[in-house]
Amino acid sequence: MAYRVIVIEDDPVMLEEIVAVLRRSPDFEVASTYKQAHAAINPSAMFQPNLFLMNVDNEEMLDMVPDFVDRFPKAYILGMMNQWDPLVAQRVAQGGGTGCILKPFTAKDILEHLQVYASRGKNKPAKLISFFSPKGRAGRTTLAAILALLIAEKTGERVALIDADLQFGDLPIFFDLEPKRTVIDATQDIRLLTPVTFAPYFYPIKKGVSLLSSPDRPEYAELVTPEGLVEVVMMTGNIFRYVLVDLPSGFNPLALNICRISNLVFITTMINSGFEIKHARKAMDMFAQQDDGRRKVHAVFTRVNPFTEENRKKISEQLGYPVDYMIPNEYKMISVANSGRLAQGLPKDTLLMQTISGMADKIIAAKE
């Protein structure tokens, strides 16, 4: 069955080209065309369209995406752009649109974009989640990896892991992978990519979970700019419903820029001596200075022993902030992660896994 398409494009030359492309394909039936969104929204109902192509470079059309979503909840709504703009794509997602596509395009391009967006999950903005630690060996990477697997399993939606620890990233080791493309390639190419051409940069780990790997040589980290990584993360949100970013330890422009655009930031610290709590407090103080710091920044302490509410209160008092999550010590899980077998099966009967599973539930339930 062909898609019944409404095209809304204010450039008459481009409109003619788009219609010609659609009419040459048996997969599409042009129901009607309009130059303005407000002129299209009411008459379109008589055609029972299941696909809208809207020029979201036009501010009026971009503003009306939510109106079309409300009026035609079962239809795909693709925003058309002349040049990829991550902020415009984000607004389309926030309005409930299916996604965006670059002009000019072929009929095959439309089908590929619809397939990518359909497999992503709900037509809602991606949840961007950052994992930050003041120092290394905090359990940050293990936590991010396990949460990615659990969120995908619980939601059935696509989850991306981005290893942004550019010098010493361990995620490829956790999953015993040697990806051919890395975050370096992605940042170098991102201005030339669309969601469809960007998707192959991710290596599938398990059903619903994919990895964008760190580079295999530390000196390559200098090739990544904070701005380039932000563009990569935002483009990733067009392909995946959840985007989990494992950041390098310590404050630097790269980590701060990713935390700035994230919905949630987990400051992860391992309990070993009193110094870790002091470092975590400095990190919490810095984030608390931001307007939304305490709303989206959460303290996580790993390898906590004894794993008791009394100990949580004690750590919270020393930290000066609530301890939002505590993770118990579990040597069995550390062994699994270090062996590269993390995706082959999680020992769900452990207290650690039950605790992280509860954390995943809260992430999923968090306000969009």
**Block mean pLDDT (10 aa), the chain, length 368:** 92 97 96 96 95 97 97 96 93 95 96 94 92 85 92 96 90 85 93 93 93 88 89 96 94 90 92 80 84 75 89 92 88 56 68 90 88
Question: How many residues are there in the chain?
Answer: 368
Alpha helices in 42-105 (DSSP H): 59-63, 65-71, 86-94
- Distance, in Å, from the CA atom of 34 to the CA atom of 364, rounded to the nearest integer, reads 39
Q: What type of residue sits at position 96?
A: G
Torsion over CA: 242, 366, 86, 183 (sign): negative
Q: Which structural domains are found in the chain, ordered by start?
A: 3-120 (3.40.50.2300), 127-365 (3.40.50.300)
- pTM (predicted TM-score): 0.91
Cβ-proximal residues to 277 (8 Å cutoff; 6+ apart), any chain? 269, 271, 315, 318, 319
Q: What pLDDT shows up at residue 332?
A: 56
Q: What pLDDT shows up at residue 288?
A: 82
Q: What pLDDT shows up at residue 339?
A: 53
Q: What pLDDT shows up at residue 151?
A: 96
CA 177 → CA 182, 239, 243, 340, distances in Å?
12, 21, 19, 8
Q: What pLDDT shows up at residue 122?
A: 86
